[in-house]
Each structure stands twice: as C-alpha cells, then as structure tokens.
C-alpha cells in the first residue's frame, strides 16, 4: 500500500457536507457500484431519520467506521466520503487489505444538523462558537453504552447507540474506527492497546500535511500516554476512578453517562482507533521549549478562569429560569456541562495540587493549552447558552429577562471571541489535510492489524 500516494490523492474540500448532502452522496455511490456496495437501515435517530449502514464487499476481516460520534465533529464524515469512494474505485487496495468495510457516515445526524450553521464557514474561532452544539453526556451517542461499574449504573442507550451495538455484535470488527475530532490544538491519537510499530508513522503522517502534533496538556488529566500524542483509549471506568481518587464521593452521579463504543467492542477483541483532529492550530501547540512557569500554577489558573467564566453563565441562567418554556437538546447540554464541569474541575484541582508531575516547569505548549486553548473551549458553552435564549425568543416567548440574557450572552461571546482571536496566532486548517491524516492513520492501522493476524 502506497500510503504517501494515497495522502497526495486526497482532494480539496472547501466546506463540510450537511447531513442531507452526505445521504445523497451515499445513494449515488450505491448507484455507481451496485456490485460492491450494499445499504441497509440499522435503526432510526431520535428524530426518526433512518440510520444507514454502507457496506463495501471485501475480504474476511471486518472494519467498522462511523462518523459524527459527537455531532460537532464532522471531519470524520468527510473522511468517510473519501474512503468509501476510494475503496470502491481501488480494487488493489481492497484486496491488499482484505477487509469488508462497514460505514455509518453520521451516527448523530440529529445533533449534526444543529451544527450546520458553521459548516460552510467562515471558519473562525468565534463563528464556530456561535453555532456550536455538543449534547449533554447522557445525550451523547458515543458515551451511552451500558455499563455497570461500582456506583455507575447506566442502561439507557440512545436509539443511535443501540444501532452501533447491533452492528458491533453482528460484524465483530477487528478494527473499530470512531471518527472523533477536537476543536483547537494539534493531532493526537487514542488506541485501545499498545501498538508500538505504528507510533513512528502516527507521528510522521501529520507532517505530510504540515500539521503539528498536540504536545500540550492532554485532553483529560487521567489520560495514559503510550508515546507523545498517543494515548490509551479513555474509559468510563478510569474516569470514575480518577474522580474517586480526587475527592468526588459519588463519581457515578457526576458522570451522567455510560460506557463507550470501545468498551462495548472489547468483548470481541476489537482494536479501536481514534484520531483527534483540530479545526484550528497555533505555532505553540507543540512547542516544547521549557518556561520558568510551574505547570501546577497554570493548571490552577486555568481552572479558576473556567470557574469564573461558568459563574457568569450560571448567574444569567438564574435570571431566566422561571421564564423558560422549552426542553431542548441545547438546554439539556448547557445545564449538564455547567454542573458536571464544576465537579470535574474540583477533582482536577485536587490532582494538580498533589501530583508530582505538575511540580515541574511547564513547556510553551502546556502554557498555551492552559491559558489560551482552554478559553476557546469555555466559549462553546457560552455560545450554546445564547442559542438556548434564541430558541426561546423564536418560539414566541416574550420574556424581557430572556431577551436581556440573550443580548448579554451574544455581546460577551463577541467580545471574548475577538479578544481571544487577537491573542492567538491561529489558522483554520484545510479540510483536505484533516481528512488525509485520518484516512492514512486508519489505513495504516488496518494494514498493521492484518499483518499481525497473519503472523499468528
């Protein structure tokens, strides 16, 4: 497999496709390659749309790839756009890898529709926050698999999650490729188990597209690193234990969610890959220059700033709570992230104050993660709060308090967004580059698993 040639073949994509555009493309592929492609409905979304499984015939090994595990993550849907057509057109590639490939382009299509306001640009930090939506943990397809661990008892999978469970049970994949992406930073990976032969290639691939690795703070403080920017898959069990070890009396109540697709697929010996891709980066995201700032100090500073940022939203939410009429996914998300975020930060604060690894000087990348990148993520809940007020007003709610809260939230979002953009040296990354890294890492992993199986 000539991975460098595949990398060079990725076309330019100017914008992200909507749910309806993705569906239309799927049906065109079926018409063009009826001898290879099958399409069947494996469930329905909560809004009643069909969940379609696209299968491309191949060898005896099984790969299951799904996009939009979180609906603010459309990069993977474009990865599937490219990969499905490439596999249909490239018989030699299909035969060399020896897989039958199964795809769901957008597993959370309902939530993805709530993000489509930024899919066509402009691709700026502030515009992304204006139109952002991410569900509450208990509404997330990726994190509502059944689990029973200590005080965490979750058995309310969403209809979309049940569809994933059915496909995993049916195909028992050797490779599960859950196509997540981050918002800001560099490229990093999660793998379900050690795969040292892939690490050098994982580090190399982003460079083919001029993308940096993410070498700042990990996404979570309890992440286990196998190599720089390569981590063991996050699990609900490890998150639970992290909270328990850092002062949270009942982690099950805090988490408000269940297990993941990786956790569910472990019963089949499945290897899971996640390639986290950002929309935006900055030269500082992988700068390992050591500063004279202690890492602990900037972590605590980040947590304090997040507390203050969320407190503003909480205070304004209280002014309108009695006037709210709608129960929407955005409403649930705002409430969940405000309550859960505060308790997670309490655990992170205790960890930062006691962990030996936070006592050393921070790198420039870690300073950037804690003091600038974190502000980008804080803006996203503010954007959802403003959208929540917009929805109330659009429904005919005449509350002056809601209008005032909406205007204040919109003004704060624009002010904070403009200030952050002045301090950043950021660029919006080409969609082609993001797709290319996911495609190449996924194909390399499929080949590695096939070769390892052949050697057994």
Q: Which fold has domain 3-282+429-455?
A: Aminopeptidase (3.40.630)
The residues, ordered by sequence, that sit 6+ positions from 139 with a Cβ below 8 Å of its Cβ are 111, 158, 329, 332, 333
What dihedral angle (degrees, nearest 10) is formed by the CA atoms of 155, 158, 159, 160? -120
Which tens digit of pLDDT belongs to each residue from 47-89?
999 999 999 999 999 999 999 999 999 999 999 999 999 999 9
Which tens digit of pLDDT belongs to each residue from 245-290?
999 999 999 999 999 999 999 999 999 999 999 999 999 999 999 9
- Residue 161: its pLDDT value, please? 98
Stretch (H or E) spanning 316 = helix 295-320
- Residue 154: its pLDDT value, please? 96
Helix residue ranges per DSSP H, 209-286: 236-245, 251-255, 261-265
- Residue 456: its pLDDT value, please? 72
Angstrom distance (rounded) from CA 74 to CA 380? 16
- Residue 160: its pLDDT value, please? 98
Q: 196 burial class (0-12, 13-18, 19+ CB within 10 angstroms)?
A: exposed
Average pLDDT over residues 403-414: 98
Listing DSSP states for 5-56 in one string gives HHHHHPPP-SSPPPHHHHHHHHHHHHHH-TTTEEEEEEEE-TTS-EEEEEEE
pTM above 0.85, yes or no: yes
Average pLDDT over residues 361-371: 98
**How much of the chain exceeds pLDDT 70, in percent?**
100
- Is residue 144 over pLDDT 90? yes
Write down the domain spans for the chain.
Answer: 3-282+429-455, 287-425
Q: Tally the residues of the chain.
A: 456
């Amino acid at each position: 497999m000539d991975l460098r040639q595949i990398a060079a073949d990725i076309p330019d994509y100017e914008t992200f496709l909507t749910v309806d555009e993705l569906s239309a493309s799927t049906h065109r592929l079926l018409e063009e390659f009826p001898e290879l492609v099958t399409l069947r409905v494996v469930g329905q979304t909560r809004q009643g749309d069909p969940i379609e499984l696209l299968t491309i015939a191949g060898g005896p090994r099984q790969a299951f790839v799904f996009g939009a595990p979180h609906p603010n993550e459309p990069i993977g849907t474009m990865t599937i756009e490219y990969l499905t057509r490439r596999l249909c057109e490239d018989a030699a590639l299909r035969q060399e890898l020896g897989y039958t490939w199964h795809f769901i382009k957008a597993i959370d299509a309902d939530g993805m529709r709530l993000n489509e306001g930024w899919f066509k640009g402009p691709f700026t930090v502030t515009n992304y926050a204006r139109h952002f939506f991410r569900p509450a943990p208990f509404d997330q397809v990726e994190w509502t698999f059944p689990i029973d661990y200590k005080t965490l008892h979750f058995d309310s999978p969403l209809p979309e999650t049940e569809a994933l469970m059915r496909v995993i049970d049916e195909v028992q994949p050797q490779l599960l490729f859950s196509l997540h992406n981050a918002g800001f930073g560099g490229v990093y990976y999660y793998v379900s188990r050690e795969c040292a032969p892939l690490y050098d290639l994982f580090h190399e691939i982003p460079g083919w597209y001029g993308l940096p690795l993410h070498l700042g703070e990990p996404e979570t403080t309890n992440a286990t690193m196998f190599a720089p920017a390569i981590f063991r898959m996050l699990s609900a069990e490890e998150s639970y234990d992290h909270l328990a070890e850092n002062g949270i009396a009942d982690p099950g109540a805090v988490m408000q969610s269940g297990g993941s697709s990786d956790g569910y697929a472990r019963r089949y010996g499945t290897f899971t890959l996640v390639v986290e891709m950002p929309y935006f980066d900055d030269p500082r995201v992988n700068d390992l220059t050591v500063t004279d700032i202690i890492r602990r100090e900037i972590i605590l500073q980040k947590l304090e700033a997040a507390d203050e940022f969320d407190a503003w939203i909480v205070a304004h939410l209280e002014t309108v709570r009695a006037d709210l009429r709608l129960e929407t996914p955005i409403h649930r998300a705002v409430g969940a992230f405000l309550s859960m975020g505060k308790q997670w930060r309490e655990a992170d604060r205790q960890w930062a104050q006691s962990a030996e690894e936070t006592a050393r000087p921070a790198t420039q990348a870690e300073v950037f993660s804690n003091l600038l990148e974190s502000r980008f993520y804080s803006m996203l809940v503010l954007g959802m709060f403003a959208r929540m007020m917009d929805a109330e007003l659009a429904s005919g709610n005449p509350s002056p308090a809601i209008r005032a809260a909406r205007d204040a939230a919109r003004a704060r979002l624009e002010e904070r967004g403009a200030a952050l953009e002045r301090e950043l040296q950021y660029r919006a990354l080409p969609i082609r580059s993001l797709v290319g890294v996911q495609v190449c890492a996924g194909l390399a992993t499929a080949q590695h698993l096939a070769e390892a199986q052949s050697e057994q």
